[in-house]
Structure 1
Amino acid sequence: MAHRRTFTVKEKVDIISGLKNGENNVGLCKQIGVSHSTISTMWKNRSKILECFESKSLKIKKNRNPTHQDIENALLVWFKAQRSQNVPISGPLLQEKANHFARQFGKTNFECSRSWIYRFRQRHDTVDGKVCGESASVSQNTVTIG
């Protein structure tokens, strides 16, 4: 019996591209080492896979939607605004802000955990850490074009 294999979104898109470019299903099955039905299922779900490819991280293996989509959207908008100003954002700060948005939206059953922040970062391909680089250290007011 063959081992179960989980494909990333990028791998699925590569398989779909191969099928679109004329590779046959049997050849791909032998090359990758999966059954015919696995490739057929990817082909059948190609619109969902391609949509996920264009909007999300390529490393994810399952496309899951968060249970508190409104909090997630608000936190993502806030996160992008802070990052555009080169503000470093830690996990505890994200947790605090997520709890703040939950209170604003009247969610009494939501308490942001470290695992929720971890999954948020995975879904949106964000990283923890310092914002560094020369462009972050120079104020735009001091730069003159001569």
Structure 2
Amino acid sequence: MENQRRGISTTRKRKVLSLEQKLEVCRLVQNGESFRKIAESLGVGLSTVSDIYRSRRQLHDFVSLMDASSSCSSRKSMKKTANSALDSAAAVYMWFLQKRALDQPISGPISQKKALDFSTKLSIDNFVARSGWPRNFQRQHCLRELKSHGEKLLLKCFLLEIQLAVDGAAE
């Protein structure tokens, strides 16, 4: 009797939708689908569907900034990086896209050095590109690999890293 009065409630398991699913929610709402029907089909609450639809402009802006060729279907949040000044300038990402378009090899140390160069040029004092920075950069921009495929490109990448090390030691 005691348990019945307190009413043991069952809570729905927390579910976070991917960006792709959130875009689909926006599309369904714009096509006239009811919030309740969408919420039931995805297993989320009404307020979740409402919040997603309310932030649709921000969602579309964020997705449009991502590289169209990359696969961001697993990404679930639009969280910004701690070094948003470097990220908002998008200098490193634009540099990366230019190098990738030219089929030039890019490794973790090369991208780290370039990020440090850009942070110096942009007068960002507290930026430090630690060893995990390339992995986080890769994950943030939905990049599969920093390096290009092929033995020739790997050799070029290795030679560029050696050249950077020699240039860094000479300075």
| Same fold per superposition (TM over 0.5) | yes
Query: Using a 3 Å threshold, how does the CA distance of structure 1 residues 7 and 120 change in structure 2: closer, same or farther?
Result: same
Instruction: Indicate conservation of the 8 Å contact 2:19/2:76, yes or no.
Output: yes
| Equivalent residue runs for 1:1-146 within 5 Å | 1-56=11-66, 57-72=72-87, 73-126=90-143, 127-132=145-150
Report the residue type matching 2:53 in the other structure. W
Alignment size in residue pairs: 132
CA distance in 2, matches of 1:14, 1:65: 22
Quote the offset at 1:39 in angstroms: 0.9
Identity %: 23
The whole-number CA distance in structure 1 between the counterparts of 2:12 and 2:60 is 27
1:16 deviates by: 1.2
Unaligned residue ranges in structure 2 (runs of 5+): 1-10, 67-71, 151-171
Displacement, 1:122?
A: 2.3
Quick one: which amino acid aligns to residue 27 of structure 2? Answer: S
Match of 1:43, SS state, is helix
Write out per-residue CA displacement over residues 2-22 of structure 1, whole angstroms, 9 at most, x where no aligned residue. 111111111001111111112
Q: 1:27 to 1:107 in 2, by over 3 A?
A: closer
Q: Distance in 2 between matches of 1:31 and 1:101?
A: 46
Task: Note closer, same or farther for the CA distance 1:81–1:70 as it changes in structure 2 (3 Å cut).
Answer: farther
Alpha-carbon offset, residue 131 of structure 1: 4.0
Distance 1:2 1:108 in 2: 45
For residues 57-89 of structure 1, give each alpha carbon's deviation from its aligned partner in whole angstroms, at most 9, with x where no partner exists.
Answer: 444222123343453422122212211221111
- Give secondary structure in 2 for the equivalent of 1:53: helix
**8 Å CA contact 2:86, 2:119 repeated in 1:** yes
Structure-2 change in CA distance of 1:79 and 1:43 (3 Å): same
Q: What secondary structure is seen at the aligned counterpart in 1 of 2:132?
A: helix
TM-score by length of 1: 0.77
Deviations 1:29-58 (Å, cap 9, x if unpaired)? Answer: 221111111111111112112222222244
